[in-house]
Amino acid sequence: MTEGALSRQTAERLIEAAIAAPSMHNSQPWRFVARLADRVMEIYADPARTLRRGDPHGRGVHIACGSALFNLRLAVAQAGSAPVARLLPSPRNPLLLASVRLGGPYRPQPAERDLFEAIGRRHASHRSATSHPLPRGLLAGLMEAATLEGATLRLLDHTDALRILRRSAAADPGLRSDPGYLAELAAWTGGLRTSHRPHDVQPGPGRAHGNGHPAGRLVMRDFPVRPDGRPSPPAAMETASQLAVISTIADDRASWLRAGQAAQRVLLLAAHRGLQAAPLTPVLDEQEATLRTDAFLDGEYPAMILRLGYGRPARATPRRPVGQVLRVIPLAGVHQSPRPGQDKSPGDGPPPALPPADRQLMPSK
């Protein structure tokens, strides 16, 4: 791509890649703005799609938008421009999480092309994994991938996994008895359909991490996905799966965004190498305080638990149309009518600032 104004068509193609990123319960908590004249793509948090009980400080939102940012960087490189990314570029607007400027001409490296091609193949899988062990070289490559994004990928053996999952499950007993949290969780994971989940998106996978199975197998924490909102019965996860923790040296908003980028690089590399990988869930606030004291993390802050293994491919979860998440700021003097299906809710002005009641979702850490 030669330097010059960014076209609407290019912006839409870039966002198609960005929105393929995973998010907590497939909530897709992002909005994008394309500034054509400046050749800049901006990523905003969408407060309307946050889990106010389960993710009150926006940790999961930042991780999801960090994953979308990594996809966007790959797409910009694939389009022939150098991606110049900035985290939290505007202290006055806490909703603006990142921006990517399309720099000068750029030829993507083979590894970048491989990761970009894997975007369409990466789907969260919670199906049973085979007993085929993961090669050490592959695991080392995944660990290096996280390091490239400023995070650490820590591989859990069976003993570590049981301990981490048990401590994680025990860290938030108040949430599991909170009717508001359970209703919110049911809405987003396919149980009770309430106003907590917008009607334009299907629920994500219905399980996350949990405690230990009596027989010693690892189990996933169960979300209340029955139609009546009651918890589903426990589901065991075989020991063939490899669990890993993404951690960072700090616990602030920029670190959450880095963790999301690291997780996405790991997941895409895993998909490229034929693994079925899934983010089990971001580590929530109560869990982070408990898990950080575990010697396994060496003082770092846990951000996400991942599951890796060989198995059958998973199906893609639905995404909102690009027109519903992207607002294009056209070139001066050029009028561009909304395309069919484009969401007009962002309006013609700048993205809305957080209302006072919502500022706690984006703390200035």
Span 192-222, pLDDT tens digits: 333 344 555 555 544 433 333 333 444 444 4
> Same structural domain for residues 270 and 343?
no
Report the alpha-carbon distance of residue 221 to residue 298 in Å, rounded.
Answer: 25
- Run of H or E including 152: strand 152-156
Q: Which residues pair with 44 in a beta bridge?
A: 31, 96
Q: What is the mean pLDDT of the chain?
A: 79
Contact between 303 and 283 (Cβ < 8 Å): yes
Within 13 Å of residue 57, how many CA atoms lie on the same side as its CB? Answer: 14
Q: What CATH number has the domain bearing residue 117?
A: 3.40.109.30
Window from 12-21, 135-144, 331-340 with minimum mean pLDDT: 331-340
In a domain, 1, yes or no: no
- What is the structure's pLDDT at 262? 98
* 53 Cβ contact partners less than 8 Å away, ≥ 6 residues apart: 175, 178, 180, 181, 184
Average pLDDT for 31-56 = 94
In a domain, 2, yes or no: no
> Same structural domain for residues 162 and 64?
no
Q: Identify the domain containing residue 239 by its residue range.
A: 136-309
Q: What DSSP character marks residue 248?
A: E
Report how many domains make up the chain.
2
27 three-state secondary structure = coil
> Same structural domain for residues 78 and 156?
no
> Same structural domain for residues 54 and 82?
yes
> Same structural domain for residues 205 and 341?
no
User: 334 or 65, which is more confident?
Assistant: 65
> Same structural domain for residues 52 and 149?
no
Q: What CATH number has the domain bearing residue 156?
A: 3.40.109.10
- What is the structure's pLDDT at 27? 92
Counted residue by residue, the chain has a size of 365
Residue 145 tokens read as 């991938």
- Run of H or E including 42: strand 40-45
In a domain, 293, yes or no: yes
In a domain, 126, yes or no: no
In a domain, 131, yes or no: no
335: confidence class by pLDDT, cuts 50, 70, 90 = low
Residue 7 tokens read as 């076209």
Whether pTM > 0.75 for this model: the answer is yes
> Same structural domain for residues 280 and 176?
yes
> Same structural domain for residues 31 and 74?
yes
> Same structural domain for residues 143 and 274?
yes
Helix axes 110-118, 253-272, angle to 10 degrees: 90
- What is the structure's pLDDT at 4? 80
> Same structural domain for residues 75 and 54?
yes
Q: Which residues pair with 208 in a beta bridge?
A: 221
> Same structural domain for residues 300 and 323?
no
Span 219-270, pLDDT tens digits: 444 444 444 444 444 344 445 578 999 999 999 999 999 999 999 999 999 9
311: confidence class by pLDDT, cuts 50, 70, 90 = confident
